[in-house]
A and B are shown apart, each in its own frame.
Chain A
């Protein structure tokens, strides 16, 4: 009886310790573990916030099977850098007015953060941000990709995004004629 009681107490203290932990451990698709502050994760990612609130966070590493280690490393890096830079109130108000407000320009450090990424890393990161419901990171990465697209021809765009050209030659010519003005630079 005594032993059982001791066991129960130990269990209880372990639970309390778990609840008090201020980091969450995330596991990438290839099994690497990353730690990120619980507060930042909950603030920046709607999905992680839901998981934390719902108690589905695993101490030995919450499986994120859809995200590779490189992308997850960038996500965690972003969370850590973000942790103290923006008050949560600003973020809340930005998410409410998201549909109507013009897009917010990325801040200097965010710009640098995405600028150093390779093409593939950027694409993986934008998908990870989309998957985790990270509104702000999605904003920043989408902004970067749209900047990349601005000076490119349709052929280059197809190559970058791996899109198949499903127009026939004649159709393409017709559309090009209709939109000829758009192909001239001012």
Chain B
């Protein structure tokens, strides 16, 4: 039987500590839309997406009302378009992006992910054309998210693709220069991209997924921050236990919503992603959790250890609460979307180097970081190569979503709006890595990729 304090705890989490379901994402396979006629392809994609997700928003609203918990985002991921439109030109891909944008508007979802390609070993023609089209596609649309997987632990790192993505990010920044280069906020470069991630901008519907699927991303940094604060100056074992307990409760809500959404939508339930996803709102910050553990400011010495403890405890608590766990699962550290990170970056305590170290122990990578607009394409590729190496060598997903804000430099800040937040421009190193990036080819897979 439920007791009063349990019920009031749930109410407090939702009302005062920003507990919510961050996203219900429907994955939709587009393989049955493939056609050699571009017009027919576009038509079939529009029909499949609007038909499959026709009730997504409505069902999520019903669930919000029934269970009393907000579902912040309703989203869609599709099969990477480089496969579906493999014969298209870059212009053809831009048209597909616009078709998906129209579908997103019609359905009332805020993002569709899957403007994507896997190029870890090399690019098929469709991937080359899609990558070429990214700057224009992200300029012409507002709800389409793009992700490119440039490396896996098994395949190594495609450095030609890394070099290319530096240029693509620069071009996207230029084309969306009137809005603080916001196009780059919808573009992620991955190592070991998951096939079932419900979070944007990196959501795709993988090749081994069912025709449609429901994946859910939970949240709740505010809830964890309060629990850590209330735990006081306990030792690390007790601290980890506190986080585990609260992560269990948060994830159970995700599990409930995922299975109920899947049932009502007639789609299989896929996974719950055990992530702590912050927002720029007060009391919804991962940095605040770390600071409540005893750091005077996120980014100072001890931050990586604090984050490692947090990330591990979230997984241990969450995995018990859900029958299928997947996606990115861990603490996110998107700078512009986390009030504590923004403050720490403004003060210079949180630097790009420290963030890189932090990504070695958490999910996902260098995320939503504004850098000077005059950063060279080679330097951006260098940042990508470093981050991707961490993922490849450590058998984990890492990613880079940096925004070289056109016309702005260190001391300025960029405004992305809504959940994407705002960020101070963070300095990058001035010394060149151009000769290194220009080598081209592939960095071989690490020895521990040979597991068989």
The yes or no verdict on A and B being binding partners is no
